[in-house]
Amino acid sequence: MAKQSGGNVDTVMQETRLFPPPQEFAARAKIGSVAAYEKMWREAAGDIESFWGQLAGELHWFRPFERVLDWQEPDAKWFVGGQTNASYNCLDAHLDSWRANKAALIWEGEPGDTRTFTYQQLHYEVCRFANVLKKLGVTQGDVVSIYMPLVPELTIAMLACARLGAVHSVIFGGFSAEAIADRNNDAGAKVQLTADYGWRRGAELQLKKNVDDALKKSPTVKHCVVLKRTGNPVHMESGRDHWWHDLIAEASSNCPAVPLDSEAPLFILYTSGSTGKPKGIKHTTAGYNLYVKKTFEWVFDYRDEDVFWCTADIGWVTGHSYVVYGPLSAGATVLMYEGAPNWPDEGRFWELIEKYRVNIFYTAPTAIRAFIKWGDHWVDKRDLSSLRLLGTVGEGINPEAWMWYHRKIGRERCPIVDTWWQTETGGIMMSPLPGAIATKPGSCTKPLPGIMPAIVDSAGQPVPQGQGGWLVMTKPWPGMLRGIWGDQERYREQYWTKVPHNYLAGDNARCDADGYYWIMGRIDDVLNVAGHRLSTIEIESALVSHPRVAEAAAVGRPDEIKGEAVAVFVTLKNGEPDEALRKELKAHVRKEIGALAQPDDIRFTGALPKTRSGKIMRRLLKDIASGKTTIGDTTTLEDYSVLAKLRSDEE
């Protein structure tokens, strides 16, 4: 029995460790003190329009904007009347400077093949491919669906679309034919881009085969362009399918960027919705472009000589914002790696860091927990001295995983930026500025300048300091989503009605006495034990702090007395579980956070069910823990066998 539909969440986690920015880092940082950050934040909060309006001067404007913001809740128009182009800002803007011959993209394929593109070369390739799209009839406003491996041509395709004002919809290469067709139909995609195959753990992903199946059900798609990646044979449908290399061979490299209205749609990115129907999150040109450029520069304290590696696939928003648009509009050098972190062995990432002398490394907590499980020896044999800054995104990071990242990868010299944001927010919203803000393991610390969060209860009232509640944004920001593709009502309903005049993020959070934010998990994931609303991440973090635990997921299952009982699923670093360990883990949680959160059930499992982007699917575990025989939507599940195993463990 839930006490209430939203609002307060009790906190049981006490994390007191504090890591100030290392002195030599702060000395060289662009924003190098708390005072500098606070001054900037206050100035922005005092007048967001003038703050963002001044920064917008960093983009190229074919026509200057007349107004910074036209806010008709929930519809925002940023940089009204202006014309710019994201492809221009990422490429042409650098060509009159020394950066023309700077590496924009350093790429390594899973089999070890490598390619490097300077800004000049990338510009050349993008122009040629934009002309290919034009030849296929793509014009401004058309949707191009992209289902490709993590190869340079994926970046090239996105920037080619942006150049023409076509809207890209990138679909992660792990999705099924059914998922591609759904997205193509929802978006009304006109052209499909894909590859024959992609490499994953030494095997070939059948990308073209999936596209063939999808296109049987995607009547709006008239052409399909196929990149040859592995070279094994694929079916080519005459009249519809074209080889990338054939089309590009004849394309001119002269393709000026089209001046686009600030609010021209730049891309759609589908994300899972609570109803199961994926939502096409819509982002537009100028505001998004400015937001990812500035957040990239602030959060990663980017310097021209850095090599920046964000390990996310471009199929997720992290890849859109911090592999493509953010770094390239800042003139950065980006490393991109096609394959799996454990191919040919579990040391691949560390080998890449050593080989390319990576300076900034941005990855996900799920990956960090896997590295811990794989063992320190993979890390120890590599030279990681080039690293100066580490980042995480996608989920809360358990404090013990944070400490491992800090000690083992950062060698206690590199600040860690734990960045909180969403597909909907376009870019990072809360994160330490690494030269300014002391970090606390597990906290995304403070809002970036121009971002004004609050924590409220279900009535929209601010909760007392230190209390958990709903995280909202009280003011619009340039990178915010402009809607759900084809469904503005759902956009309004989902994000703007539950807490009037505020953007509802859908996460619970609390803010401590120092003004630090702690994300407590999705609103729907809250446990209600004996009238106390507990957050999943706090219980999970307590378990992960036990030396034998690799990963943990906490969910509630109905309990007659307590309302909900705490059920946890645990994977171990090594060794076999036994009754003694089960008892020990219960005692461990009791000691770390109190009797209230002590798990009632502990189930050991070889792996946890995750989404394709690496988030633990607690919803499915909740069904299993409650003994339901049918479980909810599993289309975003990464590995179906995990579910089967979990269920057979039941018997």
- In Å, what is the CA distance from 55 to each residue of 156, 326, 478? 27, 14, 11
Show the site string, 484-523: x = touches ligand PRX by CB under 6 A, - = not. Answer: ---------------------xxx-----------x--x-
- By CB under 6 A, residue 25 contacts ligand PRX: no
User: Least separation, in Å, of the C-beta of 247 and ligand PRX?
Assistant: 33
Q: In this chain, which of 6, 391, 396, 441 binds ligand PRX, going by CB under 6 A? A: 396
User: Least separation, in Å, of the C-beta of 563 and ligand PRX?
Assistant: 24
CA 371 to CA 373: how far, in whole Å? 5
CA 164 to CA 292: how far, in whole Å? 20
User: Least separation, in Å, of the C-beta of 404 and ligand PRX?
Assistant: 16
Q: In this chain, which of 26, 93, 390, 444 binds ligand PRX, going by CB under 6 A? A: 444
CA 591 to CA 94: how far, in whole Å? 56
Is the Cβ of residue 88 or residue 420 nearer to ligand PRX in the bound state? 420
Identify residues 234-273 at the interface with ligand PRX (CB under 6 A): 271
Coil/strand/helix, residue 505: strand
Is the Cβ of residue 396 or residue 599 nearer to ligand PRX in the bound state? 396
Is the Cβ of residue 192 or residue 419 nearer to ligand PRX in the bound state? 419
- By CB under 6 A, residue 618 contacts ligand PRX: no
Best CA proximity match to 58, nearest among 36, 73, 79: 79
Given the structure tokens 């645990």, which residue do they identify? Answer: 570
Q: In this chain, which of 422, 571, 626, 635 binds ligand PRX, going by CB under 6 A? A: 422
Identify residues 268-287 at the interface with ligand PRX (CB under 6 A): 271
Size of the site for ligand PRX (CB under 6 A): 20
CA terminus-to-terminus distance, the chain? 28
CA 227 to CA 92: how far, in whole Å? 25
User: Least separation, in Å, of the C-beta of 334 and ligand PRX?
Assistant: 17
User: Least separation, in Å, of the C-beta of 393 and ligand PRX?
Assistant: 5
* H helical segments located in 5-118: 23-28, 34-46, 48-55, 86-87, 93-95
Best CA proximity match to 199, nearest among 256, 146, 148: 148
Report yes or no: 624 and 644 within 8 Å, Cβ to Cβ. Answer: no
406 Rama class: left (phi>0) / alpha (psi -120 to 50) / beta = alpha
- By CB under 6 A, residue 420 contacts ligand PRX: yes
- By CB under 6 A, residue 423 contacts ligand PRX: yes
DSSP assignments along 217-229, one per residue: T-TT--EEEEE-S
Given the structure tokens 């290919």, which residue do they identify? Answer: 132
As given in the structure block, the two tokens for residue 562 are: 């307590």
Is the Cβ of residue 224 or residue 310 nearer to ligand PRX in the bound state? 310
Is the Cβ of residue 309 or residue 420 nearer to ligand PRX in the bound state? 420
Give the range of 164-172, 240-248, 394-402, 479-487 binding ligand PRX by CB under 6 A: 394-402
Q: CA angle at residue 553 from 552 to 555, to 5 degrees?
A: 150
- By CB under 6 A, residue 419 contacts ligand PRX: yes
Give the range of 251-259, 382-390, 392-400, 570-578 binding ligand PRX by CB under 6 A: 392-400
User: Least separation, in Å, of the C-beta of 611 and ligand PRX?
Assistant: 8
DSSP assignments along 91-104, one per residue: IIHHHTSGGGGSEE
Report yes or no: 278 and 175 within 8 Å, Cβ to Cβ. Answer: no
- By CB under 6 A, residue 443 contacts ligand PRX: no
Is the Cβ of residue 167 or residue 401 nearer to ligand PRX in the bound state? 401
- By CB under 6 A, residue 318 contacts ligand PRX: yes
User: Least separation, in Å, of the C-beta of 419 and ligand PRX?
Assistant: 5
Give the range of 20-28, 39-47, 417-425, 570-578 binding ligand PRX by CB under 6 A: 417-425
Is the Cβ of residue 31 or residue 310 nearer to ligand PRX in the bound state? 310
* H helical segments located in 545-598: 579-593
Is the Cβ of residue 108 or residue 313 nearer to ligand PRX in the bound state? 313
Q: In this chain, which of 44, 255, 317, 484 binds ligand PRX, going by CB under 6 A? A: 317
Is the Cβ of residue 182 or residue 418 nearer to ligand PRX in the bound state? 418
Is the Cβ of residue 8 or residue 535 nearer to ligand PRX in the bound state? 535
- In Å, what is the CA distance from 596 to each residue of 14, 442, 565, 590, 600? 15, 21, 10, 8, 10
Given the structure tokens 């702090």, which residue do they identify? Answer: 545
Helices and strands, number each (H, E), in the chain: 22, 30
Q: In this chain, which of 261, 297, 395, 564 binds ligand PRX, going by CB under 6 A? A: 395
DSSP assignments along 410-439, one per residue: STTTS-EEEEB--TTT-S--B---TTT--B
Is the Cβ of residue 260 or residue 436 nearer to ligand PRX in the bound state? 436
Given the structure tokens 């040919």, which residue do they identify? Answer: 344
* Residue 56 DSSP one-character state: G
620-636 in b/e burial notation, b at 16+ Cβ within 10 A? bbbbbbbeeeebeeeeb
User: Least separation, in Å, of the C-beta of 546 and ligand PRX?
Assistant: 21
- By CB under 6 A, residue 394 contacts ligand PRX: yes
User: Least separation, in Å, of the C-beta of 341 and ligand PRX?
Assistant: 18
Give the range of 344-352, 393-401, 567-575, 588-596 binding ligand PRX by CB under 6 A: 393-401
- By CB under 6 A, residue 426 contacts ligand PRX: no
CA 480 to CA 231: how far, in whole Å? 40
Given the structure tokens 């330490």, which residue do they identify? Answer: 432
User: Least separation, in Å, of the C-beta of 614 and ligand PRX?
Assistant: 9
- By CB under 6 A, residue 613 contacts ligand PRX: yes
Give the range of 153-161, 169-177, 301-309, 420-428 binding ligand PRX by CB under 6 A: 420-428
Is the Cβ of residue 8 or residue 419 nearer to ligand PRX in the bound state? 419
CA 565 to CA 529: how far, in whole Å? 6
Q: In this chain, which of 37, 296, 421, 503 binds ligand PRX, going by CB under 6 A? A: 421
Coil/strand/helix, residue 647: helix
Given the structure tokens 């930026």, which residue do they identify? Answer: 417
Is the Cβ of residue 255 or residue 527 nearer to ligand PRX in the bound state? 527
Is the Cβ of residue 221 or residue 269 nearer to ligand PRX in the bound state? 269
Report yes or no: 432 and 478 within 8 Å, Cβ to Cβ. Answer: no
Strand ranges (E), 272-320: 279-284, 307-310
**Chain position whose Cβ is nearest to ligand PRX:** 423
Residues at the contact surface with ligand PRX, assessed by CB under 6 A: 271, 317-318, 393-396, 418-423, 444, 505-507, 519, 522, 613
